[in-house]
Amino acid sequence: MVDVRWYLDPSRRGRDEYARGHLPGASFLDVDADLAGPGGARGGPLGRHPWPPEAKVSQVLGALGLRPSDLVVAYDDQSGAIAARLWYLLRAHGHEAVALLDGGFRKWTAEERPLSTEVPAPSPTTYPVRLRPGFVLAKGEVDASRDLVLDARAGERYRGESEPIDPRPGHIPGARSAPFTENLTADAVPLFRPSSELRARYEALGAGTREPVVYCGSGVTACHDLLALHLAGLGGRLYAGSWSEWSSDPTLPVATGPE
């Protein structure tokens, strides 16, 4: 079990929330420190959460005491928006035994299940990793004339009406809006919609006829769409640098509006 709570608000820290109480036996991984490569910065040329190099992934997974046969269950308190990054990172490096706890911390506490403040002390392992071809794309490989490019951010950011974080508002020309929040039910504690509904959603966007390439602000919540596509029986790939990288490059075009 791995706690992947993280917040865009700099006044909140996932590690602090983990220390206050987490699922028994869970370890903690931080998006910035553990699930991203060096050089990430707002307005930086690599985007806010660059894809981590293989050596770093190996070190992080080894520090968890992980073995290739172990089942990893990731959770957060944002309906999987953050934990999906770990799900995709593991699968991208060949670790198939990984799942996301649907409903996460919120559902766990709503059901009054036990929490712990104990921090596991696993025996480190040497975890072999190799990034699987085609799982992660660089910006030069994103081609909306060939692939179905999906934007997992909120609709107002896609349309360019609001951009609170990254250098330029708008979206990659040719991309379609696919907010990750629409993968979820409208319950008090949102869960993933049934696979049949997810398949209908993404087929309506064009999946099934073209392979999806998904991006978001920094390559984190895009993984929620990729998990939804997986549940729907459809494939997809991650543009890791996402909008934070694309919008930092003045030579790249930007589109605004609903299309």
Based on the residue annotation, tell me whether 223 is a catalytic residue of this protein: no
Strands (E), the chain: 2-3, 27-28, 72-75, 98-100, 136-137, 148-151, 176-177, 212-215, 237-239
- Sheet containing strand 237-239, edge to edge, reads 136-137, 237-239, 212-215, 148-151, 176-177
Of 225, 255, 256, nearest to 238 (Cα)?
A: 225
Q: Report the SS3 class of residue 59.
A: helix
Domains and CATH numbers, the chain: 2-110 (3.40.250.10), 136-246 (3.40.250.10)
Residue positions counted in the chain:
259
User: Distance between alpha carbon 133 and the CA centroid of its chain, in Å?
Assistant: 18
pLDDT digits (tens, 9 = 90+) for 76-95: 999 999 999 999 999 999 99
Strand partners, 239: 137
pLDDT digits (tens, 9 = 90+) for 199-214: 999 999 999 999 999 9
Average pLDDT, the chain: 97
**Rounded to whole angstroms, how far apart are CA atoms 100 and 108?**
13
Average pLDDT over residues 180-187: 97
99 by Cβ neighbours in 10 Å (0-12 / 13-18 / 19+) ranks as middle
Of 26, 150, 216, 227, the active-site residue reads 216
What's the confidence (pLDDT) of residue 215?
98
Q: Where are the alpha helices (DSSP H) in 42-194?
A: 54-63, 83-92, 104-110, 155-159
The model's pTM: 0.97
CB 161 within 8 Å of CB 169: yes
pLDDT digits (tens, 9 = 90+) for 147-180: 999 999 999 999 999 999 999 999 999 999 999 9
What's the confidence (pLDDT) of residue 43?
84
What's the confidence (pLDDT) of residue 41?
87
